[in-house]
Structure 1
Amino acid sequence: MKKIASIVLSAVMIMSLAACGSKTETPSETPAETPAETPAETPDEATGDLVIYCPHPLEFINPLVSEFETQSGIKVEVIAAGTGELLKRVESEAANPLGDIFWGGSLSTVKPVMNLFENYTSANEEFIQEDFKNTEGPLTRFTDIPSVLMVNTNLVGDIEIKGYEDLLKPELKGKIAMADPSKSSSSYEHLINMLYAMGEGDPEKGWEYVDLFIQNLDGKLLSGSSAVYKGVADGEYVVGLTFEEGGAKYVADGAPVELVYMEEGVISKPDGVYIIKDAKNMVNAKEFIDFITSEEAQTIIVEQLNRRSVRTDVAAPSYMMAKEDMNIIYDDEALVVENKNAWMEKFNDIFTNY
């Protein structure tokens, strides 16, 4: 009898060991991915966590990261700083990436360095608006952001502000908030927007306006995007040049501010979320891309975070101007990418001369 029991016990142990040895899938891997698309990570490479480099304000980051952590069980570490600073960090760490995701930054800012990012198409690509699909490989769009002017209604008085031309009014000198475009993607996008809008489609003709505009800044450039909308909301500046989302939060909260969509023309572009090339937590990074483009996350973005979705099935907030009511204009994307450094240098040269 003891011999029989011993045989049975040995058989059970062998079956248990076989079952444990056959479980090779990564817990955080999404069902949509196949083994061919998602190479297995070794314990030495993967930490089970996710490190995100992100220039967005914490009030935007936290609700989405919290929801992702709850759904996935993945612990997220966010490194927050300016777009330019974080891109330099990604570049300097290329041989040994310490981050997994770069979340934010306009496409005009990221495209010149998209070799720093991994090709990946999200599981939700079929629901993305046609203009915002990832045709390049590394560039996943996740929100649609028009450039706007943010006006403090308590300070503006009887000064009429409908667009860029109004920013040249003498009574606004020194009262305009704009960040350094080398540090702020929203300010860089405004530079592109004003070149095309005031040059009537020819950016070279727009520099005459930029020269006059810089004179009216009166030597003031702020350190980052958040300093612009906070400065206007706090009453330090009458008007600021920002992305729609930066001012929309204050509008939704009932602050004394309003958004102005420039009558000369508005460029509305998506910003993106990207996997850093050779990221150590590659599986988790792909899961985050799929999450942030999902209907659930995009609904949070619209209903709680004051942005426009890139999905076809998630409508914009009711208090934002409909895109069909804006004077939408377009830039030449290839030309913008080609001239980024030259335009930045030209802007800085003009600024330092005043």
Structure 2
Amino acid sequence: MKKRRLLSVALVAALGVSGILAGCSSEGKSDKTAGKTESKELVVYSPNPIEFNEPLVKEFEDETGIKVEVISAGAGELLKRIESEGENPLGDVMWGGSLSSLEPFTDHFEKYQSQNEEKVIEDFKNEDGYITRFSLVPSVIMVNKNLVGNMKIDGYEDLLDKQLKGKIAFADPAKSSSSFEQVINQLYAMGKGDPEKGWNYVTKLIGNLDQKLLSGSSAVYKGVADGEYSVGLTFEEPVVNYMNDGAPVDIVYPKEGTIVKPDGVVIIKGAKNLENAKKFIDFITNEESQTLVANELNRRPILSTVKIKDDNGMKPLKDIELIEDDQEWSNKNKEAILDQFKDIFTSN
């Protein structure tokens, strides 16, 4: 306001009292906007394992000076939270969750494409403008070698063995996106490409769960590693981590077929720290971060320019029996799939 006090009397007269007040109001608004732009905070909702998020978050904080608060919960729970918060979101970014989980909520996301989009693997580019792909996530079976003994587990069919009844760790697919992707994988693999024909298998598997359904994906891999369950249906990264740490676990890529899906990162619509959210997405998808993701955090990178170390425990995709689902079908029928799974589970 000091400059305004130095204005000539003639200019003041020309503007009039209302003009001065309008100028003051405009300047105050600009200051507020500038303050928002210069925010040093960011709130991230994430279903990722805490130990996975921490190294990337720390690097981002050190590089930018932005303080990140991470709210951890299952993908389904976090998306419902975003929906309920509506036009007054408490989070800025949703980091994690499969496309099948994220795509029905695009009305709650801001459009944004990262600065690294041109380096993303061609099949996984952000074509709709909302969901930036972050990493590639195969659905796998986790096995506790001490508990299964000589039992042969090569795929989904082996999980129907009555010796495993009540010893299979599986999360509620309504709360865990990785668990929902497991259901999709089972429907397509065991239905030989026709998901409707896969329900016969899913029904039998649910019977072998013995009324045990866990609250989140982390409970699955921790339960198997800790010896509470013999096998678990989960995603690749935590199993590889436990293997590399010397835990008595092994990873099985189902012989009937494995679906590899990208997970995503999005900006929540109305984010209070919008510019910081953009910086965060650019950071976790840049080449340095993606190299960390691939070779230290054991998740497959989304950038075509980043290579995975040979000795990190992840089987090359060329050595896995890969199958695909119809993403449009999975999205369109998500609620029906969850309802059918719930009906089968509650009737067992």
Both structures adopt the same fold (TM-score exceeding 0.5): yes
Question: Residue 97 of structure 2 aligns with which residue?
Answer: 105
Structure 1 residues 320 and 261: alpha-carbon distance in aligned structure 2, compared to 1, 3 A threshold: same
Q: Which amino acid aligns with 1:325?
A: D
- Is residue 2:221 matched to residue 1:226? no
Q: Which amino acid aligns with 2:66?
A: I
Report 1:1-354 matches (<5 A): 41-43=33-35, 47-318=39-310, 319-354=313-348
SS in 1 for 2:188: helix
Q: Which amino acid aligns with 2:144?
A: N
CA distance in 2, matches of 1:235, 1:208: 29
Q: Which amino acid aligns with 2:242?
A: Y
Structure 1 residue 46: deviation in Å?
A: 6.4
CA distance in 2, matches of 1:41, 1:160: 62
Matched-pair contact (CA < 8 Å) for 1:145–1:270: yes
| Length-normalised TM-score, structure 2 | 0.89
Q: Which amino acid aligns with 1:298?
A: Q
Structure 1 residue 351: deviation in Å?
A: 0.3
Structure 1 residue 317: deviation in Å?
A: 4.0
Structure 1 residues 259 and 49: alpha-carbon distance in aligned structure 2, compared to 1, 3 A threshold: same
Task: After superposing the two structures, state which structure 1 stretch, 265-274 or 311-320, moved more.
Answer: 311-320
Matched-pair contact (CA < 8 Å) for 1:82–1:183: yes
Question: Residue 16 of structure 2 aligns with which residue?
Answer: none
CA distance in 1, matches of 2:309, 2:151: 28
Q: Which amino acid aligns with 1:124?
A: N
Structure 1 residues 331 and 325: alpha-carbon distance in aligned structure 2, compared to 1, 3 A threshold: same
Matched-pair contact (CA < 8 Å) for 1:308–1:317: no
Structure 1 residues 125 and 45: alpha-carbon distance in aligned structure 2, compared to 1, 3 A threshold: closer
SS in 1 for 2:262: strand
| Length-normalised TM-score, structure 1 | 0.87
SS in 2 for 1:321: coil
Q: Which amino acid aligns with 1:237?
A: Y
CA distance in 2, matches of 1:172, 1:41: 59
Q: Structure 2: state its 5+ residue gaps.
A: 1-5, 7-31
Runs of 4+ aligned structure 1 residues displaced above 2 Å come to 40-48
Matched-pair contact (CA < 8 Å) for 2:188–2:194: yes
CA distance in 1, matches of 2:67, 2:195: 45
CA distance in 2, matches of 1:98, 1:41: 18
Matched-pair contact (CA < 8 Å) for 1:307–1:316: no
CA distance in 1, matches of 2:37, 2:45: 19
Matched-pair contact (CA < 8 Å) for 1:118–1:274: yes
Question: Residue 13 of structure 2 aligns with which residue?
Answer: none
CA distance in 2, matches of 1:154, 1:106: 31
Q: Which amino acid aligns with 1:264?
A: E
Structure 1 residue 114: deviation in Å?
A: 1.3
Give the number of equivalent residue pairs. Answer: 316
SS in 2 for 1:212: helix
Q: Which amino acid aligns with 2:344?
A: I
CA distance in 2, matches of 1:321, 1:45: 44
Question: Residue 20 of structure 2 aligns with which residue?
Answer: none
